[in-house]
């Protein structure tokens, strides 16, 4: 009896130690994100520095005028929303990737596996090529993200309908998503072919991904969706942990596998669609961040969800800071930087997976 009690106490102590270690790692990631945020505020193509940023924020709340109007505009209307949107967008893509890899039980899938990004690109291409004049009159600058989001949801519905016919098989979901992705990619290529010389550069730049023109409204929308999905993910964390055992085992333990799969599928789609509709196609953040997270804190979703969102925000913010400073005052699309980092990491994952097999 005493032996069993001592082993139980040892197990509890070991779990508490592991829990404390994981919480400490999450704190380290958060500290890294905070440091990267300060760096991102401090650098840029203009002469506005960190002190000007803080002075502009202070002036906003106090009504003073310690900086010029230009410095205030660059600080509050360009750099600040851009940095914060980077964090929110990277966090959204990372959370979407974490959930997707979990429900599909495949470490090589990403938020774009279901063809969402290709569908968003097609919607954006329609707005850029055919509705540029209408958008400036009717919906301001929001016609492009609206159509991008609409076609992302359409792609989700197509995948969901086909998957329902196929019995919600994971293989059916993935293969259908890949097929729909190729379909919309070909349509985007068609749009590029018929685009004129004025709209083609805008279309190409959008498909490379950028947060250069994000606004406070866009940040609030992405943040709202992200916050809601984080809360839902934390509520479902135990069910998500059990689902890693497989469908049969999870069902035997009382988890409604189909219901949780549907909820996470919808969350993944909305997170990706909202983010892509404002930032364009930014690849590999949703693939890399969840893997880095699991290497650090393990597979427990109670720790993976906050750690993955922080890591995704850190990765995208670092990539965007590099993209806007490496050839300043010009800048590279952030999607180029994330791909340069993401492709080698993806190949590493493929080789590592093959060795295990």
Position 70 in a domain: no
DSSP state of 75: I
Looking at per-residue pLDDT, the higher value among 140 and 94 belongs to 94
Residue 350 confidence (pLDDT) = 64
Q: How confident is the model at residue 15 (pLDDT cuts 50, 70, 90)?
A: low
Residue 143 confidence (pLDDT) = 82
Position 2 in a domain: no
pLDDT digits (tens, 9 = 90+) for 227-267: 999 999 999 999 888 888 777 888 888 888 888 888 888 89
Position 42 in a domain: no
Q: How confident is the model at residue 58 (pLDDT cuts 50, 70, 90)?
A: confident
Residue 348 confidence (pLDDT) = 74
pLDDT digits (tens, 9 = 90+) for 262-308: 888 889 888 988 998 888 888 888 888 898 888 888 888 999 999 99
Q: How confident is the model at residue 11 (pLDDT cuts 50, 70, 90)?
A: low
Position 58 in a domain: no
Q: How confident is the model at residue 140 (pLDDT cuts 50, 70, 90)?
A: very low
Q: If you average pLDDT over residues 23-50, what whole number do you get? A: 88
Residue 37 confidence (pLDDT) = 93
Burial degree of 326 (CB within 10 A; 0-12, 13-18, 19+): exposed
Residue 203 confidence (pLDDT) = 82
Position 21 in a domain: no
Alpha carbons 279 and 282: distance in angstroms, whole number: 7
Alpha carbons 159 and 104: distance in angstroms, whole number: 14
Alpha carbons 72 and 106: distance in angstroms, whole number: 47
**Which range marks the domain in which residue 106 is found?**
84-356
Q: CATH code at 188? A: 1.10.3470.10
Phi and psi, residue 127, nearest 5°: -65, -45
DSSP state of 197: T
Tokens representing 326 are 């490496």
Residue 31 confidence (pLDDT) = 95
pLDDT digits (tens, 9 = 90+) for 312-323: 999 999 999 988
**With 60 as the cut, is the pLDDT of residue 17 above it?**
yes
Residue 136 confidence (pLDDT) = 45
Looking at the chain, the whole-number percentage of residues with pLDDT higher than 70 is: 89
Residue 141 confidence (pLDDT) = 60
Looking at the chain, the whole-number percentage of residues with pLDDT higher than 90 is: 23
Position 12 in a domain: no
DSSP string for residues in 283-343: -SHHHHHHHHHHHHH-S-HHHHHHHHHHHHHHHHHHHHHHHHHTTTTS---HHHHHHHHHH
Least confident of 30-39, 97-106, 214-223: 97-106
Q: How confident is the model at residue 353 (pLDDT cuts 50, 70, 90)?
A: low
* Structural domains counted in the chain: 1
Residue 256, CA distances (Å) to 18, 120, 346 in order:
29, 31, 32
0.75 exceeded by pTM: yes
**With 70 as the cut, is the pLDDT of residue 139 above it?**
no
Q: What is the mean pLDDT of the chain?
A: 83
Burial degree of 311 (CB within 10 A; 0-12, 13-18, 19+): buried
Q: Cβ distance 333 to 320 under 8 Å?
A: no
Estimate to the nearest angstrom the gap between the alpha carbon of 5 and the chain centroid.
45
Phi and psi, residue 320, nearest 5°: -70, -40
pLDDT digits (tens, 9 = 90+) for 81-94: 999 999 999 999 99
Residue 151, CA distances (Å) to 118, 132, 136, 165, 196 in order:
9, 17, 20, 21, 22
**With 70 as the cut, is the pLDDT of residue 7 above it?**
no
Position 20 in a domain: no
Residues 6 or more apart from 6 whose CB is under 8 A from it? none
Position 77 in a domain: no
């Amino acid at each position: 009896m005493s032996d069993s009690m001592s082993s139980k106490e040892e197990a509890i102590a070991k779990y508490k130690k592991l829990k404390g270690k994981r919480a400490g790692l999450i704190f380290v990631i958060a500290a890294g994100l905070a440091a990267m945020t300060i760096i991102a505020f401090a650098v840029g193509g203009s002469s506005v520095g960190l002190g000007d940023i803080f002075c502009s924020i202070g002036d906003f709340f106090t009504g003073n005028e310690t900086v010029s109007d230009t410095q205030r505009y660059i600080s509050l209307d360009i750099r600040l929303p851009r940095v914060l949107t980077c964090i929110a967008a990277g966090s959204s893509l990372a959370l979407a990737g974490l959930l997707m890899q979990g429900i599909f039980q495949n470490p090589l899938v990403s938020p774009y596996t279901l063809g969402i990004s290709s569908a968003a690109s097609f919607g954006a291409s329609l707005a850029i090529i055919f509705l540029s004049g209408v958008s400036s009159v009717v919906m301001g600058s929001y016609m492009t993200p609206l159509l991008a989001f609409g076609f992302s949801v359409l792609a989700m519905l197509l995948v969901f309908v086909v998957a329902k016919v196929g019995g919600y098989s994971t293989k059916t979901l993935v293969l259908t998503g890949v097929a729909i992705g190729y379909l919309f990619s070909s349509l985007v290529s068609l749009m590029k072919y018929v685009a004129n010389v004025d709209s083609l550069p805008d279309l190409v730049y959008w498909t490379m991904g950028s947060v250069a023109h994000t606004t406070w409204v866009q940040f609030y929308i992405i943040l709202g969706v992200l916050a809601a999905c984080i809360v839902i993910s934390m509520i479902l964390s135990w069910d998500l942990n059990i689902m890693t055992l497989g469908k049969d085992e999870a069902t035997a333990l009382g988890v409604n596998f189909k219901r949780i799969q549907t909820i996470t599928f919808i969350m993944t789609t909305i997170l990706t669609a909202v983010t892509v509709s404002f930032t364009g196609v930014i690849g590999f953040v949703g693939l890399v961040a969840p893997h880095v997270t699991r290497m650090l804190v393990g597979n427990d979703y109670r720790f993976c969800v906050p750690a993955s969102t922080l890591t995704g925000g850190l990765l995208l913010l670092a990539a965007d800071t590099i993209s806007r400073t490496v050839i300043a005052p010009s800048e590279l699309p952030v999607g180029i930087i994330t791909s340069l980092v993401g492709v080698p990491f993806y190949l590493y994952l493929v080789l590592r997976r093959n060795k295990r097999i």
